[in-house]
């Protein structure tokens, strides 16, 4: 059973412009300053030829990017038969998808009935397009199953697709604090929830920058000139426009270093038995369904207990916050760990509450760290406004996505509930929560 909602799910058709690509090479791996690149995403050393277009002056802001891209051996972009480049023409979603699929090293031929169908399918297969999320360009009409892909692409959707591609070529250590990065975007609240993560990733790395007024302008339509710059920065880290994060005069609390918690080291006890976070895990007795690897609820409860040991709600400068630790798990398992808040009125962001996840957070603000890390998060409200604080936990098998059950713990109602999928340990119990509050 999954405890998480799907992300927020649920038009103009342009004629298809000539956009030529030459796709080559198999997928290889190389390394450059902490960033992982497919072999054919390696940047070209220097422009070998200067390409002239009557509608592209040498003073154009994207001129160097265009020369770089036109000298790329894959011929990612080309001009038009009349000799122009048309930098201000808009780009459609399908055109942009083809760009991304090409620079990510996938050898794809045009589709028979619709030229972009094969590129779209490859983008779906690789996770650059997610059908259940990208409803604005995956929608269909009675006459055209690809209608949404033929509309102009805006800056937010561009970042959405590019950000997903970045997951394959960028090490997590290259990213900075997403909350600090998002604070630089003045119209951050105007970006759709499901787009925010990837907008922040692209903004952080300098792949897509803001405007002089500090706004990102997510609904602005992407032009061919902008696409050239974006693709250049995607494949050439030296061209990225990375912004400096501001120095905060009165920073918010930072998580307690993990080494200060003095957590016990992992131990291999032999015969497949391990000790993680001081909890002994024996696959023979603690996996209740060998066919899907479901961890027994009683064993899962021991790891939940470790998490509860460090969970604390407190105040900082008059605002509620929560801090804690995400325990490590035995190999092959992962957390579905969600902390949910409900308020009696809107919070500082105008929302009615907040949520924090270890998996698939909607926005950077909702992300909890990977196992073995601490966190310290703002609740964006006064403690008096909170009427519900709930923690929901599952431990799932990574390979099968199955859990042995889940826990529902209300700190405000002082209730502790267990839903056991296999062992019959269901039930609801009183729960003393006063020790979790430092206010």
pLDDT for 248: 60
> Mean pLDDT lowest for which of 36-40, 262-266, 361-365?
36-40
Query: Which tens digits make up the pLDDT trace of 110-136?
Result: 999 999 999 999 999 999 999 988 988
What is the pLDDT confidence band of residue 56, given thresholds at 50, 70 and 90? very high
pLDDT for 179: 84
Query: Which tens digits make up the pLDDT trace of 293-321?
Result: 999 999 999 999 999 999 999 999 999 99
Question: Of 317 and 48, which is predicted with more confidence?
Answer: 317
Contact 362, 414 (CB under 8 A): no
The maximal CA–CA distance of the chain, rounded, in angstroms, is 76
228 three-class SS? helix
pTM of the model: 0.74
For residues 183-203, give the mean pLDDT. 93
User: 166 burial class (0-12, 13-18, 19+ CB within 10 angstroms)?
Assistant: buried
Report the Cα–Cα distance between both ends of the chain, in Å, rounded. Answer: 35
Residue pointed to by tokens 């892909």:
149
pLDDT for 9: 31
Asked whether the predicted pLDDT for residue 37 surpasses 60, the reply is no
Q: Which of 125, 124, 94 shows the shortest CA–CA distance to 110?
A: 94
Asked whether the predicted pLDDT for residue 147 surpasses 80, the reply is yes
Token couple for 412: 């405000």
Residue pointed to by tokens 């998996």:
359
Separation in Å, CA 300 to CA 193, 295, 329, 423: 31, 7, 9, 12
Q: Which of 81, 55, 85, 91 shows the shortest CA–CA distance to 69?
A: 85
- Please give the full DSSP string across 305-337, using - where no structure is assigned: HHHHHH-EEEEETTEEEEEEEE----TTEEEEE
Q: Which of 337, 329, 336, 333 shows the shortest CA–CA distance to 293?
A: 333
pLDDT for 373: 95
Helix 193-205 vs helix 155-169: angle between axes, to the nearest 10 degrees?
60
The CA distance from 299 to 91, in Å, is 53
For residues 375-383, give the mean pLDDT. 94
Query: Which tens digits make up the pLDDT trace of 167-184?
Result: 899 988 899 888 889 989
Question: Of 139 and 2, which is predicted with more confidence?
Answer: 139
Separation in Å, CA 219 to CA 152, 215, 290, 400: 10, 11, 49, 38
Q: In DSSP terms, which residues pair with 410 in a beta bridge? A: 390, 415
Contact 82, 53 (CB under 8 A): no
């Amino acid at each position: 059973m999954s405890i998480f909602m799907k992300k927020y799910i649920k038009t103009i058709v342009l004629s298809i412009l000539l956009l030529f690509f030459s796709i080559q090479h198999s997928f290889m791996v190389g390394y450059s300053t902490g960033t992982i690149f497919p072999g054919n995403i390696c940047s070209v050393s220097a422009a070998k030829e200067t390409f002239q277009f009557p509608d592209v002056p040498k003073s154009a802001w994207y001129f160097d990017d265009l020369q770089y891209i036109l000298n790329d051996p894959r011929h990612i972009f080309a001009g038009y038969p009349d000799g122009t480049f048309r930098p201000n023409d808009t780009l459609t979603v399908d055109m942009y998808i083809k760009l991304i699929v090409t620079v990510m090293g996938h050898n794809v031929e045009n589709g028979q009935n619709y030229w972009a169908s094969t590129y779209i399918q490859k983008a779906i297969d690789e996770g650059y397009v997610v059908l259940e999320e990208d409803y604005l360009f995956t929608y269909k009409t009675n006459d055209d199953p690809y209608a949404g892909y033929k509309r102009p692409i805006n800056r937010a959707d561009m970042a959405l697709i590019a950000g997903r591609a970045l997951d394959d070529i960028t090490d997590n250590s290259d990213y900075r604090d997403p909350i600090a990065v998002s604070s630089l975007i003045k119209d951050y609240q105007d970006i759709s929830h499901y787009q925010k993560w990837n907008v922040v990733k692209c903004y952080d790395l300098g792949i897509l920058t803001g405007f002089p007024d500090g706004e990102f302008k997510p609904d602005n339509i992407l032009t061919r000139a902008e696409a050239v710059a974006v693709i250049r920065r995607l494949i050439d880290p030296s061209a990225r426009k990375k912004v400096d994060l501001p120095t905060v005069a009165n920073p918010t609390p930072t998580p307690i270093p993990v080494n200060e918690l003095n957590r016990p080291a992992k131990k291999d006890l032999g015969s497949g038995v391990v000790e993680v976070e001081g909890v002994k895990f024996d696959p023979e007795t603690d996996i209740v369904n060998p066919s899907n690897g479901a961890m027994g609820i009683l064993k899962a409860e021991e790891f939940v207990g470790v998490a509860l040991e460090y969970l604390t709600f407190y105040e900082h400068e008059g605002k509620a916050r929560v801090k804690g630790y995400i325990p490590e798990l035995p190999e092959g398992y992962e957390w579905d760990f969600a902390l949910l808040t409900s308020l009696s009125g809107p919070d500082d962001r105008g929302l009615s509450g907040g949520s924090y996840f270890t998996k698939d957070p909607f926005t950077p603000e909702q992300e909890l760290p990977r196992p073995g890390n601490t966190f310290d998060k703002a609740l964006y409200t006064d403690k008096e406004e909170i009427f519900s604080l709930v923690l929901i936990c599952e431990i799932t098998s990574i390979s099968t996505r199955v859990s042995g059950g889940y826990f529902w713990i209300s700190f405000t109602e002082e209730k502790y509930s267990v839903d056991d999928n296999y062992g019959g340990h269901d039930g609801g119990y009183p729960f003393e929560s006063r020790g979790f509050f430092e206010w």
